[in-house]
Structure 1
């Protein structure tokens, strides 16, 4: 019997912990190396769509997460920027369950991270370990900023958009200026307008801008994220901030309820959206990428976390069923077509959402009114990482 490979996962975020949880479920161990001194998520809210909900249920953590989540009744609710007129909306209360077997939730990122951490033995995670180099020899050598070293048979780079692993092994073009930036804030529910406290994911569309809000943390907070022209802003960091006045200036003249929501959010975060072309290769021998390290995407479909967890599920099954390098080749062949399609779809959404008022905007609004995005995006929500030895649902 061949000994199980020693697996190192670089990064203890959503993708890294999901990898550890799915590896454990597949009968494989690993060590997660996280540079922070504690497991935490800096970001705010995210959408747990049915494709992610199914995988969390498979790990046995969905019920725990749902206790502090918001189960949406309405989604894909598009509104006009100036007056809030509803362009289209989807009833998620029954249709989502009927179509995809799960509801759609909104959660704080920290709650999802905690749920995943509950599926991983604490001794699996090593904190305060910032990897500074990865070298492939007879085994993969890891060197950390504190001077310590480790070796592994397989290394998974789940180390985010500024991945050390990707920089070392995978040729990729430098990120390009997208011309867009994002603002984000968390608003206490008691300070938010009634419209934003509903169990709804709402998207306001206007010239050159759009804004999304939905409740999180059991309805105690409203997550707010907005997209606007970046001007000369190019800082790609979730710890960077703006002023309330800068945020308000971008949405001057919009519906007064949005102005109220922005004011109630306090100091907003701000980051630039940098454009990265999809990679055609994630693996180098026994080293591979996962999550944002492999496929950073604009957040316009709300699938960043979901795709990281899908990666983890497929990778674990591949590693449990084949020698490491063969498994990694199989993993990327299964995942790259899907994540590339999502990257490209997310990229194209900015133009659609930001049309100036006029004939093209009116045609878009008419298309929304007659559309059914919950069914139209079935290729996203019905995905099931099943038997990766086959060519069906995992492709």
Structure 2
């Protein structure tokens, strides 16, 4: 069997293959509520044969949204709207479902990318971003509000409440977003964190709040449900103190000791000065280093587009899963095509069995399709 199509256990969850649909923001919610777009978008991706589908970054509070259109899970109304999406997904697919929970921090109150993606001023309908320190994302922007200790406790409780809602909704797994320059990453990186209390300064102090959030969520979630963390392994900044791969390993070791079930290894996002050498699989070496040094299941992400490329990443032990974003937006049946190319097997709905080209029926296992 192709390594990409081998099963993987994450705590009490068993995945049928090593393909994960990466969380991808859609900026199409209404006050945090899932809409018809989420039904169509997620329904399509759920039928594609991946082992796990992770919903987009979902805000744990209203002010924690990246944009006004971000999905949320802070209210009963949010939970009810998302419950309808999950009922549809469960009725049409057996794919494992994860949700990524996050807080945008100083990157909150942004316009959707197709509207420019810039900070929305309060007078134009935006809201006050929150951050570890009063340092803006971009020099020309007003400073965010620096969080006091009591406010940190409130946000930690927001993560716990959102995780509790996710469990109630029936998600199979939870991923905490500590990457891409959002709040938990902001605490980790000295670019965004200039605090002089026990949440700033040394590496131990900068890791403290993200680790507290993980502890609180892990304690609130049933033991059988895995909890992973997405990290930015590097800030891609060389000329000032920043977050580095070595620090990511230290953070990963702390998370491992606390029971993390996977690390989803991305990079960048905390500084407009970053210089990222984008190319096919440009972040895989970061996932490989984390896997080697930390020793927990690791997800590789970032311009992984070709089946043989994904197969090599898993087969060579660079990562345990590959997470696909743009590749599955372009081709929601990516896993079918990969199985056909690599002699693997995936699950496909019987309504689609006869869609396979001649000689490729084994992609869906021993299936038959006949009519009277």
- TM-score after normalising by structure 1: 0.23
